[in-house]
């Protein structure tokens, strides 16, 4: 961990700054919205129920679902910090609105009546009596909102907004504790500092607080100002670093935005295209590690130009066709439907098929002489299973798979992150999972892939999805896709995945070596 910190302190500091920036901007906007709304509904009682109800609903919407709604929207949507900030504002509104209402309505009625009797207008009562007396309660709401936002901002990494979530998701995916700690520890410390800092400020606004500042109070006030100064410095550092790392001029002045899903193979494929384009002088914006189907939504919204996909996933999860097993029929249908419905061109197959891999521990496969899923089916009555969200809910996933093989597990299969399912299987927390057939962790963790002897799963040929207007705008993009057609074998893809997941090497270095070896770049 110390070696990792020594080598990556600058990058960690930049991610902390990104996280602070996301939280600070979101909370500032939330206060500007929530405080007037809270004041309004103390005056308009009939609006109180609907407004608080809407704020409650917004906070209960799962973050990935909210991102999916926001990405296609003009002005406030898209990939990157803008969408994340909008979502974080929604999550921060409720505690601030609620505490504003509670604080103002909690002011002693006798105090309010005395102010009116002195001839104060409603505006004067609000600003000179109610808000000062309610400020401690309002700040409590802000404190809760800040702590919540620091935690929820972790999910911002799934829409390419940066922050500490990038380390956490990379750590889960690669089973690297130093990455998990690099993301989790700073976010926890930020939450503790925010909670402590706002609690100090709250005390300054308590009605019965002493006016004379003791040495302890001066120390705490100084600490709060130091924290604010550090926040400003971090935000400035993030801005400076972002300006330095922003793509400069290139031979081809039209930048291409390449995206990937949130697993190693997708990132590697996206990185291959990115480096090949850069070798041709094309500026590339990377938007990797997008969760769920957000990458497809972003493509249709024009936020990205290209991403790697699998024909079976497009056929069933996007186009909602009934699964079939003929690879050419699946590819032709996907190519035709994407062109007609989405104005998206499906590239030629890359040369490998990454189907769902039904995996068991190597020791169990050898002990029970298991080679096919049918042979394993009778044993599932004593087994536990763990599946990623994708497999658990898709039309070509668990429900049909269990029926096809007559599987009956000892309990309902647990739904978990795909990357965690490998760890759970290796550590004997579950006995069967659905991974990816080209995943390097299969060999690294001594897992065995069972043969799909009833041919349940459709073909999952790897392809690139590119917007038709992007291909016309950047001719080099089509040249790269044509060169990659059939260029990656299953063994090559598995080795690339292993180099990242098993050998823990940097994906950019791994991709560079592969491209040089293939003669695609110099």
pLDDT tens digits, residue range 437-490?
888 888 888 999 999 999 888 889 999 999 999 999 999 999 999 999 999 998
How far is the C-alpha of 180 from the C-alpha of 145, rounded, in Å? 24
Do residues 90 and 66 lie in contact, with contact meaning Cβ atoms separated by under 8 Å? yes
Average pLDDT over residues 13-17: 86
CB atoms within 10 A of CB 16: 23
- CB within 8 Å of 236: residues ≥ 6 apart: none
Judged by DSSP in three states, 342 sits in helix
Query: pLDDT band at residue 81, thresholds of 50, 70 and 90?
Result: confident
More confident residue, 149 or 209: 149
Do residues 146 and 23 lie in contact, with contact meaning Cβ atoms separated by under 8 Å? yes
Query: pLDDT band at residue 229, thresholds of 50, 70 and 90?
Result: low
Average pLDDT over residues 33-40: 92
Give yes or no for residue 436 having a pLDDT over 80: yes
How far is the C-alpha of 355 from the C-alpha of 346, rounded, in Å? 18
Same-fold call for 2-241 versus 356-450: no
More confident residue, 485 or 394: 485
Fold for domain 252-353+460-518?
D-Maltodextrin-Binding Protein; domain 2 (3.40.190)
Fold for domain 2-241?
MetI-like fold (1.10.3720)
pLDDT tens-digit map of 100-153: 999 999 888 888 888 888 888 888 888 888 888 888 889 999 999 999 999 888
Give yes or no for residue 425 having a pLDDT over 90: yes
Which of 434-468 are b and which e, b meaning 16 or more Cβ less than 10 Å from the residue's Cβ?
A: bbbbbbbbbebbebbbbebeeebbbbbbbbbbbbe
CB atoms within 10 A of CB 190: 22
Query: pLDDT band at residue 231, thresholds of 50, 70 and 90?
Result: low
Give yes or no for residue 215 having a pLDDT over 50: no
CB atoms within 10 A of CB 196: 15
Query: pLDDT band at residue 259, thresholds of 50, 70 and 90?
Result: very high
Q: What does the H/E/C string look like for 234-245? A: HHHHHHHHHHHH
Domain layout of the chain by residue ranges: 2-241, 252-353+460-518, 356-450
Judged by DSSP in three states, 357 sits in strand
Cα 505 to chain centroid distance, Å, stands at: 22
Q: Which of 78-87, 102-111, 308-317, 459-468 has the lowest mean pLDDT?
A: 78-87
Judged by DSSP in three states, 410 sits in coil
Do residues 520 and 316 lie in contact, with contact meaning Cβ atoms separated by under 8 Å? no
Q: Which of 56-70, 195-209, 246-260, 389-403 has the lowest mean pLDDT?
A: 246-260
Q: What is the pLDDT of residue 217?
A: 56
Q: What is the pLDDT of residue 223?
A: 54
Query: pLDDT band at residue 250, thresholds of 50, 70 and 90?
Result: very low
**For all residues of the chain together, what is the average pLDDT?**
85
Q: What is the pLDDT of residue 245?
A: 43
**What is the percent of the chain where pLDDT is above 70?**
89
Instruction: Kindly state the tokens that stand for 238.
Output: 């993030």
Do residues 405 and 456 lie in contact, with contact meaning Cβ atoms separated by under 8 Å? yes
The full DSSP string for 446-463 is TEEEEB-TT--SPP-BEE
Q: What is the pLDDT of residue 1?
A: 72
How far is the C-alpha of 18 from the C-alpha of 20, rounded, in Å? 6
**Hunting for tokens 């902390």 — which residue is that?**
16
356-450: CATH class: alpha beta
pLDDT tens-digit map of 488-501: 998 899 899 989 88
**What is the percent of the chain where pLDDT is above 90?**
41
How far is the C-alpha of 426 from the C-alpha of 501, rounded, in Å? 14
How far is the C-alpha of 304 from the C-alpha of 439, rounded, in Å? 26
């Amino acid at each position: 961990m110390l070696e990792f910190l020594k080598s990556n302190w600058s990058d960690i500091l930049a991610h902390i700054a990104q996280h602070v920036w996301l939280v600070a901007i979101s909370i500032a906007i939330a206060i500007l919205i929530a405080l007037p709304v809270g004041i309004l509904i103390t005056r308009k009682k009939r609006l109180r129920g609907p407004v608080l109800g809407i704020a409650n609903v917004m906070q209960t919407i799962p973050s990935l679902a909210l991102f999916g709604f926001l990405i296609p929207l003009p002005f406030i949507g898209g990939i990157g910090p803008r969408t994340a900030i909008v979502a974080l504002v929604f999550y921060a509104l409720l505690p601030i609105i609620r505490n504003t209402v509670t604080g103002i309505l909690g002011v002693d009625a006798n105090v309010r009546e005395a102010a009116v009797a002195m001839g104060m207008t409603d505006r004067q009562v609000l600003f000179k009596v109610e808000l000062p007396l309610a400020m401690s309660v309002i700040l409590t709401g802000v404190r809760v909102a800040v702590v919540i936002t620091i935690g929820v901002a972790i999910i911002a990494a799934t829409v390419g907004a940066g922050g500490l979530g990038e380390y956490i998701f990379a750590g889960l995916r690669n089973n690297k504790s130093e990455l998990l700690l690099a993301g989790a520890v700073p976010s926890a410390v930020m939450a503790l500092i925010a909670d402590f800092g706002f609690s100090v400020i709250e005390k300054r606004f308590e009605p019965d607080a002493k006016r004379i500042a003791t040495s302890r109070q001066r120390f705490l006030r100084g600490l709060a100002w130091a924290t604010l100064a550090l926040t400003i410095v971090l935000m400035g550092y993030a801005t400076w670093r972002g300006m330095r790392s922003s793509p400069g001029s290139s031979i081809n002045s039209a930048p291409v935005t390449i995206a990937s899903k949130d697993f190693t193979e997708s990132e590697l494929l996206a990185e291959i295209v990115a480096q090949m384009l850069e070798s041709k002088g094309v500026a590339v914006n990377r938007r990797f590690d997008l969760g769920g189907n957000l990458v497809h939504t972003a493509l249709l919204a024009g936020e990205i130009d290209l991403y790697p996909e699998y024909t079976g996933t497009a056929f069933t999860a996007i186009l909602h066709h009934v699964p079939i097993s003929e690879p050419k029929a699946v590819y032709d249908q996907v190519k035709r439907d994407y062109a007609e419905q989405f104005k998206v061109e499906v590239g030629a197959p890359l040369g490998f098929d990454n189907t769902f891999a039904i995996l068991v521990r190597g020791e169990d496969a050898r002990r029970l002489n298991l080679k096919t899923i049918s042979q394993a089916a009778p044993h599932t009555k004593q087994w536990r299973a763990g599946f990623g969200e994708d497999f658990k809910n898709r039309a070509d996933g668990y429900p049909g798979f269990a029926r096809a093989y007559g599987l009956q597990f000892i309990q309902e299969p647990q739904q978990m992150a795909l990357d965690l399912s490998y760890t759970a299987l290796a550590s004997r927390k579950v006995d069967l999972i659905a991974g990816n057939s080209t995943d390097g962790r299969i060999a690294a963790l001594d897992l065995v892939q069972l043969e799909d002897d009833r041919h349940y799963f459709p073909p999952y040929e790897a392809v690139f999805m590119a917007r038709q207007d992007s291909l016309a705008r950047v001719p080099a993009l089509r040249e790269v896709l044509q060169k990659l057609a059939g260029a990656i074998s299953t063994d090559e893809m598995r080795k690339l995945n292993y180099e990242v997941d098993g050998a823990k090497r940097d994906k950019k270095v791994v991709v560079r070596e592969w491209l040089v070896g293939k003669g695609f770049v110099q």
